Structure 1
């Protein structure tokens, strides 16, 4: 049986299958996190991991570059639109839809006029500073959820201050689970770089949540996610 399996799936195919599974198990929780950062329903994160890939395969000019959601754009989106509408409200979701359509139109124009060379004028120092700042903002925004602390501020500085002030309300199980997850990822990536760390961590967390019932210990879980395809319609904004 083992020999026949190897004849059917050459070594490169087996590596591709493992890479595909690892990418899928990494991307799914990743885009759910992006949706959380952008203050959007969780199902929109799943849309961003499926529909943009198909669109870029049809209209993209690069075989290696993929345009999709990421933490930086999610943080910028929520930070910009939070002044116009309450996060998560129907008006906020409409504004997000309008913004994404505008960005898609600008990307299409840039593609038609071959404006990719403009990226050459961006300073590497500025880009590093920008990505560092966005990373710190996201880390602060997610810190209170990692340890189970409630905050009502959207400003990163106020969020950090409230998180530190409410540390005595932190959920011990949530904090240990977060620290263990980060520690396992860092250690395995350092000592076993070829090991599918993200795949194992995601599968392990799903098993723990299902069979141990982490929600019973106060750990916040995603819960049911609505299914189906998005309703295609133009957003109406004032």
Structure 2
């Protein structure tokens, strides 16, 4: 029974945290839900605009997915919903299939969410969360920075009130310049005022309220309500002064009511066209989400289950697809707000969903005169926090290889578009991993005098012997680096030194695959032809177990030593020891 209960709680985390749910926890979750709801209403509308979808789809994508994550997710603070990068990727993917504003465009976005949900759920059920580890953080940071720039530039058309298009920075800038003479003065004024107000709210409103003696919790709520105030004021201004008839573009009619039941398309052509995009959205969304969730969980000494997070995000996307939404993931800004507001459990997300549902049910008629310039300003202020050029300085200082990968990701994303950029990021991450592991660090080591420790002969004063070469391999051996080791070792013994023994110190080797085993067998044979014995030392148990299942140890010309010191004592006449 205990086993079954633990298994159920692993797949349905709600069964775990709900057992200790209390009145105090309820109060904390409700307060957090109020703050996040206030923040999410304008954000959801804005991100739907970014994705090229009707505004109400942003609200729909913020209701049922939150409920699904509350049931299946493991993070106590992660807030799921539309985010800037995924919205941009949705626009890029769906824009290849249908024209913006058509029914086919909406169906394609719903289908994209469904496919992404299936991919994430299947990955979670098969416990494939580790695959996200192959995406290097610098490359992801570079992609998100470039995406933030693209998103900001893509929204300038709404600030200016012009028609401008483009999937990359060059096309966007060219289109904006070409349409600059068509700028709507009233739209520009509204956009600039909204931008200025939102930037001020982000940094200055809360300190000002605290200086007046206001309670910190109330000041925080009012500061988070800044975008709502911008929406309300600019909507009122457009309505009072009839600015719609003076060139200011508005959201227009937003259907009132709860999310409708929707179905994705099951057309093979649409699925084949969207699958790669859905896979990229799934991977990027998961990496961003699990990074945020892990960071927030660590602050409260909690843990998350990456594989169950895949299921939580997968079911959230499926929920979005069946309720008229589009792809979602865990957002950084809203999750931090949720955490800072005191959310104790995923129930805070469910309460937020109720708040968004209330807005969709009763408040949407008030959005008719909402200027698109205000939503664009909301997006610009939100995404500029994603832009982090310091990653270039950090990688340049620390690793030129990492810098090259980050710079290439940024340039390709800006120059060729978001899909090419994220694809390049994935390829570069894998390429970076293969490059680094294909050239493992191999150090020739010697004995530190007066100890049994061995260190690099180039860094320390150590004892060596002319007839013995000890090499420490600082990487697992597999098909990509086996030839490197072979060339390194053969070059090392090709000298006038009277070498009789070679010891491979394997303390850092966690695995030897079949290709590497064949290389070791060839090295053993070739060294034997040169009258040099090959030895191993400090081989880990699992590696030794696998070697015993082969014939390598039967043909090994030397021995396997428990410790490198044992090898040196056995193979080196102490009287002839030299200092290096």
Q: TM-score, normalising length from structure 1? A: 0.82
Contact 2:51 2:88 (C-alpha < 8 Å) held by counterparts: yes
- Note the 1:8-47 alignment, pairs <5 A: 17=31, 19-47=32-60
Q: How much does 1:56 deviate?
A: 0.5
2:236 aligned with 1:206: no
Gap runs ≥5 in structure 2? 1-23, 207-218, 270-580
**Counterpart pick for 1:197 among 223, 233, 239:** 223
Which position in structure 2 is the counterpart of 1:7? none
Q: How much does 1:52 deviate?
A: 0.7
**Counterpart pick for 1:183 among 174, 177, 196:** 196
Q: How much does 1:39 deviate?
A: 1.7
- CA 1:234–1:163: 2 relative to 1, 3 Å: closer
- Note the 1:85-234 alignment, pairs <5 A: 85-193=98-206, 195=220, 196-210=222-236, 212-213=240-241, 214-228=243-257, 229-234=259-264
- CA 1:106–1:66: 2 relative to 1, 3 Å: farther
Describe the SS at the equivalent of 2:77.
Answer: coil
Q: How much does 1:46 deviate?
A: 0.9
Contact 2:44 2:59 (C-alpha < 8 Å) held by counterparts: yes
- CA 1:176–1:84: 2 relative to 1, 3 Å: same
Distance 1:164 1:25 in 2: 36
- CA 1:96–1:15: 2 relative to 1, 3 Å: closer
Describe the SS at the equivalent of 1:64.
Answer: coil
Contact 2:42 2:227 (C-alpha < 8 Å) held by counterparts: no
Higher strand proportion: 2
What per-residue deviation string (whole Å, max 9, x for no partner) do you get for residues 32-56 of structure 1?
1221122222221111111110110
Contact 2:198 2:230 (C-alpha < 8 Å) held by counterparts: no
What per-residue deviation string (whole Å, max 9, x for no partner) do you get for residues 189-215 of structure 1?
333445533413422431342353443
Which position in structure 2 is the counterpart of 1:84? 97
For structure 1, which segment, 196-205 or 179-188, has the greater mean C-alpha deviation from structure 2 after superposition?
Answer: 196-205
Q: How much does 1:126 deviate?
A: 0.6
Contact 2:162 2:179 (C-alpha < 8 Å) held by counterparts: yes
Higher helix proportion: 1
- CA 1:153–1:96: 2 relative to 1, 3 Å: same
Contact 1:94 1:236 (C-alpha < 8 Å) held by counterparts: no
Q: How much does 1:146 deviate?
A: 1.1
**Over 6 Å off, 4+ runs:** none
Q: How much does 1:235 deviate?
A: 1.7
Distance 2:227 2:107 in 1: 35
Describe the SS at the equivalent of 1:108.
Answer: helix
Distance 1:115 1:183 in 2: 44
- CA 1:21–1:82: 2 relative to 1, 3 Å: same
**Looking at CA atoms only, which structure, 1 or 2, has the larger radius of gyration?**
2
Distance 2:48 2:197 in 1: 25
The number of equivalent residue pairs is 227
Q: How much does 1:226 deviate?
A: 1.4
- CA 1:201–1:58: 2 relative to 1, 3 Å: closer
- CA 1:13–1:174: 2 relative to 1, 3 Å: farther
Distance 2:224 2:169 in 1: 28
Q: TM-score, normalising length from structure 2? A: 0.36
Contact 1:185 1:197 (C-alpha < 8 Å) held by counterparts: no
Distance 1:117 1:58 in 2: 22
Which position in structure 1 is the counterpart of 2:87? 74
Contact 2:42 2:231 (C-alpha < 8 Å) held by counterparts: no
Distance 1:150 1:234 in 2: 30
Which position in structure 2 is the counterpart of 1:235? 265
Q: How much does 1:222 deviate?
A: 0.8
